[in-house]
Amino acid sequence: KEVFLYVKPKFQQITSNRILEHIIGKTKDFSMTRTLFHKDFIPLSRINVHLDFKHNDRIINDVDDFFKKNNRITIIAKGGSGKTTFLKKQYIDCLKKYNKIPVLINFREFNQYTIEKKAGEIDFKKNIIYNILLNHLVFNKISIDENIGEEMFNSGKFYFLFDGFDELELDKKSVILNDLLSFITR
C-alpha cells in the first residue's frame, strides 16, 4: 500500500502534466514581437538581440558559455535596452542550450497580490516566490499539485527567468527581493 501511495501521484504527474504544451505555447508567444520599426509582429529570430554584458568590469564575449557556468545571474540595464526581448530569446533557446524547463515570471504581475509578510518569517512554505512559482506550475498544469511541484523544483531541471523587477511597486520590492534571495539560496 505504501508503494502505491508513493507511485500514484508520480504516475498521475507523468500522464497528466502539460509541460510540453506549456513550453510550446510560450515559445509561440515569445517567438513573435513588435519593434519600434515594425507595426505588425515579426519573428524574434529576425531581431539581433545583442546586449553588451559585463562581469567585474570585463566584457563577456561568450554569453552562452557564461550562462552555462553561472546559474544565478542578474541583468541590470536601462529601460528599453532589450532585457525582456533577451529573456524571451533565452526562454526559446533554453531547452536546447541548457536542457532545462524554462519558466518566465514577470514581477509586474506581483503588483496584483496583497503581500503581507512578518519580519523574520522563516517558514519557507510562506515564501512568496516559492508559492507563486508553485501556483504557476499547478495553474498551467505543469504539475498536478504542490507536492509534486516541490519535487520538480528540487530536481534542478528548471531554468527560472524573472523580468521587470523595476516594475514592482516600491512597498513590495524589499519583501520580494528577500524571498527571491531565499528561494535562490534554497
Contact 99, 156 (CB under 8 A): no
Give the model's pLDDT for residue 163: 93
Could you give the C-alpha distances from 52 to 30, 43, 62, 75, 168, in angstroms and in order?
22, 22, 10, 11, 25
| pLDDT per position as a tens digit, 136-149 | 888 888 887 888 88
DSSP per-residue string spanning 127-156 = -HHHHHHHHHHHHTTSSSSHHHHHHHHHTT
| pLDDT per position as a tens digit, 71-122 | 788 888 887 788 888 888 888 888 778 788 888 999 988 888 777 766 566 7
Provide the mean pLDDT of the chain.
81
Higher-confidence residue of 43 and 4: namely 43
pLDDT at residue 11 tops 60: no
Percent of the chain with pLDDT over 90: 3
Percent of the chain with pLDDT over 70: 87
